[in-house]
Chain A
């Protein structure tokens, strides 16, 4: 049997490793699931996991390593847009397909690379969706916008801000705070003085949690809205008593909303000893897309192991079903044509779905 591999590239060490491991383990789960099917087709399927440390240079090097391994037919990854942009560009000439579970920055697909696809929503879908929610559902007119100075947080906040401005909100301040910062004394002082009606935070749960806690501790109950970066159970744990009045947009369905997700969640818990979270679900789906793409290419290649170029084409042109997040089909740039976006609300430490938005690209 021929060895066929897919790779994951995500941060497995460093402070983002929690999410990176989710992606890796989600993909591993998909590989475990589809091993048999591949074996039937005479292919021994396995996964190689590369650590990008959330660093573009390391990530590019990892992509090159994956590229050098001829058995690797595609990559699930990465977590950070900053990493995937150079890594996918480096791999474009060798047609190594990326299916991204998490990279939301517009540039990821706007460059028109043949090998770059994603199943998550774009910042310019998420940002406006969040903005709409702020203005239509929360009815806030004065908004404070914060971002974590990462490609993700900044890009997302910009999109949200643009939309809110267009809809006539007043942005009392839009600024950044380093992603590693956990002390929000200054920011909170500012919020106290500016008295916004809502706070849009382009950042990750690891930072938002403590922020919410510190904010609520000072008795400020202003709603906080963000994107898929909030999507982790740990958000509520980190925020503790402050886990209230927080909303975020995500493509990953709440585990209990989709039956398929429940099975995956159970398997995940069994295999890796921890709960599946949003990015685990996305990693799982991305891997499935990639693996189904490989199988499609295999068939087109007269039941022989396909080339990378064939996989590239198959992924871009295929329609993929049986996923937790619904059907996936890519447009010409590798963006998902239709997706359902959820707005999740956190109230008193509990998550619930506050609404859904259908994202459709033409």
Chain B
């Protein structure tokens, strides 16, 4: 009994096309060189719009490396070149790229965490950002002058010894997981959108507390948050020609990479295990799952806590990166944002989710701002009501809508989910018959199956006011 478990095939991603090793290398090289050498040429004027194009174009090589059929060494080479050379180089020459890349990775990790909850276990959590807040405030309070305020001990004017940063990552993981369990215990028996709205509410509760309590310094937020002291890395950064104010970002870049790697491994390993199967099972049919021996509450709690713990760890890193946190960074729109990354990218699929995070973050922090800067400088004296910068969110909204209409299954869907989608483009039957509506009587009726045990919550327009469950007596 030593046969290694083989992954059943519908979950494998199929590489696209024939062997494209050289194409991949060529693409990477060209886009990388373009990015590095054109960056000063496109620094100004309308040409600025090329910045996101070049950067995005280069990032695409990572996607191609993942998707195309190519020699493994070439793929590794592309990843290594990007992560070790090109990206840090860009960061060095332009701090805002550094900031952007780290933010992308933080969101990727958040999206991966939420992916476990929503993508794998099917629990709609609209308050996910609360766990991020737990991590951020945990370190924020201890690792900043706020600690002196809280303890009333001026010895802590700069917070506790920043070396404790390392301790606070696992602490935040534990704390977020703990909060996840605490919140999960009472609410995880709720179904579908009831869960969504309660988690949304809980997210808001945590934010409101942060805004009103004095440990969190209320709306003023906490500033001067420390990061871990890593002198050797700093001197490495120095040798590599990074500016002093980039040292922290350099360190965090490496740290976040590490955390993402761990996140991916955990995500993948759980997905491909008894627990992962149980998550899919409860997502598809709670009653059957339970009747096959899956303990519902425990399994859901595991998903909730695991997802939360990633957010907790990332919170610590976010606090260290921003050096300032306040309740605004944790409002419900942030939860929605992470949710849109997961869905846009492709629920349940790790590369898809990361892609979603990168696309949305890049759109928000690079493409749209650049666009409005270009427009602003082209029309400096425009009527106040027509100001171009105001279309940022509008465009973001349009992008969301069109991306979903164009690829409802996400940019890189998981094979499993793709199947569930059953978009049936070729011949849209009157109402395309999906697995769900075949077995459960419609996507909507399928909602019925959200019931655990046997309780279901009246999904559709609720029926009668009086309780008429059974007929006349016999």
Residue numbers of A with Cβ under 8 A of B are: 3, 12-14, 17, 21, 25, 28, 31-32, 46-51, 54-58, 60-62, 64-65, 67-71, 82, 85-86, 89-90, 92-94, 105, 107, 111, 149-151, 153-155, 176, 271-274
Tell which of B44, B99, B223, B387 touches A85, judged by Cβ atoms closer than 8 Å. Answer: B223
Contact present for B329 and A64 (CB under 8 Å): no
A28-B380, A154-B220, A274-B384 known; A89-B324 Cβ under 8 A: yes
A70 CB contacts on chain B under 8 angstroms: 43
The verdict on B53 contacting chain A, using a C-beta distance below 8 Å, is no
Residues of A within 8 A of B44 (CB): 3, 69, 71
Given A48-B373, A49-B389, A51-B389; A151-B96 close (CB under 8 Å): no
Contact B384 A21 (CB under 8 A): yes
Partner of A93, one of B243, B377, B382, B385: B243
List B contacts of A61 (CB < 8 A): 96, 99-100, 103, 365, 369
Whether a CB of chain A sits under 8 angstroms from the CB of B390 is: yes
Q: 1/0 per position for B134-162, CB-CB distance to A under 8 A?
A: 00000000000000000000000000000
In the complex, are the beta carbons of A69 and B218 less than 8 A apart?
no
Residue ID in chain B nearest A3 by CB atoms: B44
Chain A residues, CB < 8 A from B324: 56, 60, 85-86, 89
| Pairwise interchain contact B221-A82, C-beta atoms closer than 8 A | yes
List which B222-275 residues lie within 8 A (CB) of chain A: 223-224, 243-245
Q: A48-B376, A49-B376 are in contact. Are A68 and B322 (CB under 8 A)?
A: no
Given A56-B328, A82-B221, A155-B220: A89 in contact with B384 (beta carbons within 8 A): no
Residues on A with C-beta less than 8 A from B94 are 68
Of the residues A17, A64, A155, A272, contact of B383 by C-beta under 8 Å: A272
Name the residue of chain B whose CB is nearest to the CB of A8.
B376
Interface check B219, CB cutoff 8 A: yes
A56 to B329, CA, bound (A): 7
- Known A-B contacts A13-B393, A56-B329, A62-B369; the reply to A86 vs B323 at CB < 8 A is yes
The residues of A that contact B99 with a CB separation of less than 8 Å are 60-61, 64
The residue on A at minimum CB distance from B225 is A86
Contact B387 A55 (CB under 8 A): no
Q: Are B221 and A56 touching (Cβ within 8 A)?
A: yes
Taking CB atoms, residues of chain A closer than 8 Å to B390 are 12-13, 17
Closest-by-CB residue of B relative to A89 is B323
Give residues 347-379 of B contacting A (CB, 8 Å): 365, 369, 372-373, 376-377
Provide the bound-state CA to CA distance between A51 and B364, in Å. Answer: 11
Measured in the bound complex, the distance between the Cα atoms of B212 and A285 in whole Å is: 35
Is the Cβ of A50 less than 8 Å from the Cβ of B381?
A: no
B95 at the interface (CB under 8 A from A): yes
**Residue of B whose beta carbon sits closest to that of A32:** B381
Complexed CA–CA distance, A90 and B227 (Å): 14
Does B211 make an interface contact (CB < 8 A)? Answer: yes
Would you give the shortest CB distance from B269 to chain A, in whole angstroms?
Answer: 32
In the complex, the answer to whether A82 meets B220 with C-beta atoms within 8 Å is: yes
A-B contact count (CB 8 A): 132
Contacts of A56 in B (CB 8 A): 221, 322, 324-326, 328-329
A57 touches B211 (CB 8 A): no
Residues A94 and B245 in contact in the complex (CB < 8 Å), given A61-B96, A149-B212: yes
CA distance A111 to B223 in the complex (A): 10
B219 near A25: Cβ-Cβ < 8 Å: no
CB distance from B406 to the nearest CB of A (A): 25
- In the complex, what distance in Å separates the CA atom of A92 from the CA atom of B324? 14
A51:B245 contact, CB within 8 angstroms: no
- B432: Cβ under 8 A from any A Cβ: no
Chain B residues lying within 8 Å of A273, measured Cβ to Cβ, are 383-385
Q: A151-B219, A273-B384 are in contact. List 18 more A-B contacts (CB 8 A).
A: A12-B387, A28-B381, A49-B373, A51-B369, A55-B328, A60-B324, A61-B103, A64-B95, A67-B96, A86-B223, A93-B243, A93-B245, A111-B224, A149-B219, A150-B219, A176-B212, A272-B382, A274-B383
Q: Is the CB of A12 within 8 A of B384?
A: no
Are B385's CB and A47's CB within 8 A? no
A25, A86, A111: the one contacting B322 at CB < 8 Å is A86
- B392 lies within 8 A of chain A by Cβ: yes
Could you show 8 A-B contacts with beta carbons less than 8 Å apart?
A13-B390, A49-B376, A55-B329, A65-B369, A67-B95, A82-B220, A86-B324, A151-B221
- Inter-chain contact A47/B220, CB cutoff 8 Å: no
CA distance in complex: A32, B376 (Å): 14
* Cα-based distance from A120 to B365 in the complex (angstroms): 30
Q: Which residues of B contact A176 (CB under 8 A)?
A: 212
Among B220, B243, B323, residue most surrounded by chain A Cβ atoms (within 10 Å): B220
The residue in A13, A17, A107 that gathers the most chain B C-beta atoms within 10 A of its C-beta is A13
A60 proximity list for chain B (CB < 8 A): 99, 322, 324
* Cβ-neighbour of A82 out of B219, B369, B376 (below 8 A): B219
Q: Determine the distance from Cα of A109 to Cα of B212 in the docked complex, in whole angstroms.
A: 24
Q: Chain A nearest CB: distance from B305 CB in Å?
A: 26
Contacts of B389 in A (CB 8 A): 12-13, 49, 51
The digit string for B299-329, where 1 denotes a CB below 8 A from any CB of A, is 0000000000000000000000011111011
Q: Chain A contacts of B212 at CB under 8 A? A: 149, 176
- Chain B residues lying within 8 Å of A155, measured Cβ to Cβ, are 220
A82 touches B218 (CB 8 A): no
Distance in angstroms from A111 CB to nearest chain B CB is 8
**Closest partner residue, chain A, to B40 (CB atom):** A70
- Chain B residues with CB under 8 Å of A105's CB are 220
- Within the complex, what minimum Cβ distance (angstroms) separates B54 from chain A? 14
CB distance from A291 to the nearest CB of B (A): 15
Whole-angstrom distance between the alpha carbons of A69 and B393 in the complex? Answer: 24
Cα separation A14 to B394 with both chains bound (whole Å): 11
Residue of B211, B218, B219, B326 most packed against chain A (CB within 10 A): B219
- Taken together as a complex, chains A and B put the C-alpha atoms of A260 and B373 apart, in Å, by 30
The residue that B377 contacts in the complex, of A46, A65, A82, A151, with Cβ under 8 A, is A46
Binary CB contact string for chain B from 5 to 16 against chain A (1 if under 8 A, 0 otherwise): 000000000000
A272 lies within 8 A of B384 (CB): yes
Among A58, A68, A82, A272, point to the contact of B95 (Cβ < 8 A).
A68
CA distance A62 to B103 in the complex (A): 13
Q: Give, as a whole number of angstroms, the nearest-CB distance from A27 to chain B.
A: 10
A122 to chain B, nearest CB (A): 14
How far is B324's CA from A271's CA once the two chains are assembled, in angstroms? 37
Minimal Cβ-Cβ distance residue in B for A29: B381
Distance, CA A213 to CA B223, complexed state (A):
37
